Amino acid sequence: MIPELEINGFAVVENVFTSAEVEQLIAIIGQANKEKDTFRHSEDLFAIRQFLKEVPTTIPLVFTDKLNACLQQLFGEGYFPVKSIYFDKPGASNWFVSYHQDLTISVNQKADVAGYGPWTVKQQQYAVRPPLDLLEKNFTIRIHLDDTDEHNGALRVVPGSHRKGIYRPETIDWNTEKEVTCNVGKGGIMIMRPLLLHASSRTTNNRQRRVIHIEFSNQQLPAPLLWSEALS
């Protein structure tokens, strides 16, 4: 799996969570207070930003022995979660995301630090583009709480694009690049590098797609910056 992840920028591992574990996560998320500023609710999407902080009772259910063993085997010691989002794409959703790379990180404040910029802020959350080598070391896992395929918003990716630095979607040469759809079963995970070009389509089969997205790093930020979502 390690060669696949490094060459392609992504890998899928099925059956990391049992059906009972998935249902328990869904039940706890369903009880969360949806009126907070970090919750976004529309006809096309329900999302919880800073998910692990907003719904902390999910932490022991997310970081099971099986998941921890998988991540340690792949990446070794020293990695910790630095950002988390829950996505719920309803069955009738027309929401889609065009091709992009994940180029920003969430931090505690805005500061003049060499190599960090430009900056954005949303819902009192600062985001900044860090140096490229930091992004190259980070990774993301996506825990799938539903069977997901090309008909209900599975990610479409460009294999190997994570090894090409900043890759503008408008410059993709489809004569040389190829697109792969990352189908993942309920309870499976997708692992990906932030620089991997990825997109998702509208839902066409009226099936829900729920995903817990968690980003990891093994690096500390230069003072005075701190990871805004690092768990204490």
* Residues whose CB falls within 8 Å of the CB of residue 60, separated by 6 or more in sequence, listed in order: none
Tell me the residue ranges of DSSP E strands in 97-154: 97-100, 105-107, 119-122, 125-128, 139-144
pTM (two decimals) = 0.94
Q: How far apart are CA 133 and CA 158, in angstroms?
A: 20
Within a domain: 225: no
Task: Provide the domain limits for residue 200.
Answer: 2-217
pLDDT in tens, 52-67: 999 999 999 999 999 9
Task: Report residue 105 as tokens.
Answer: 């990180």
224: in domain: no
Is residue 1 over pLDDT 60?
no
Neighbours of 54 (CB within 10 A): 18
Q: What is the mean pLDDT of the chain?
A: 93
**Domain membership flag for residue 109:** yes
Q: Are 83 and 106 a contacting pair, CB within 8 Å?
A: yes
Say which amino acid occupies 162.
Answer: H
Question: Which amino acid appears at position 108 of this protein?
Answer: N
Cis ω for the linkage preceding 224 (within 30 of 0): yes
Is 170 in a helix, a strand, or coil? helix
Please give the pLDDT value at position 98: 96
229 in any annotated domain: no
Amino acid at the residue 25: L
Q: Distance between CA 141 and CA 136 in Å, rounded?
A: 15
Residue 107 lies in a domain: yes
Q: Comparing 26-40, 71-85, 122-136, 174-188, which segment has the lowest mean pLDDT? A: 26-40
Task: Check if the beta carbon of residue 140 is closer than 8 Å to that of residue 12.
Answer: no
With bands split at pLDDT 50, 70 and 90, how would you rate the model's confidence at 90?
Answer: confident
Query: Cα(102)–Cα(105) distance, rounded to whole angstroms?
Result: 8
Question: Average pLDDT in the 128-133 region?
Answer: 98
Using only C-alpha atoms, the chain has a radius of gyration, in whole angstroms, of 17
Q: Domain holding 53: CATH number?
A: 2.60.120.620
Residue at 230 is within a domain: no
Q: How many domains does one find in the chain?
A: 1
Classify strands 155-157 and 39-41 as parallel, antiparallel or unpaired.
unpaired
Are the CB atoms for 167 and 101 separated by under 8 Å? yes
More confident residue, 122 or 37: 122
Q: What is the pLDDT of residue 232?
A: 65
Q: Which residues neighbour 3 within 8 Å (Cβ) at sequence distance 6 or greater? A: none
| Residue 2 confidence (pLDDT) above 80 | no
**Spatial separation of the C-alpha atoms in residues 97 and 85, rounded to whole Å:** 15
Whether the Cβ atoms of residue 193 and residue 7 lie closer than 8 Å to each other: no
Question: Does any domain span residue 172?
Answer: yes
Residue 38 pLDDT > 90: no
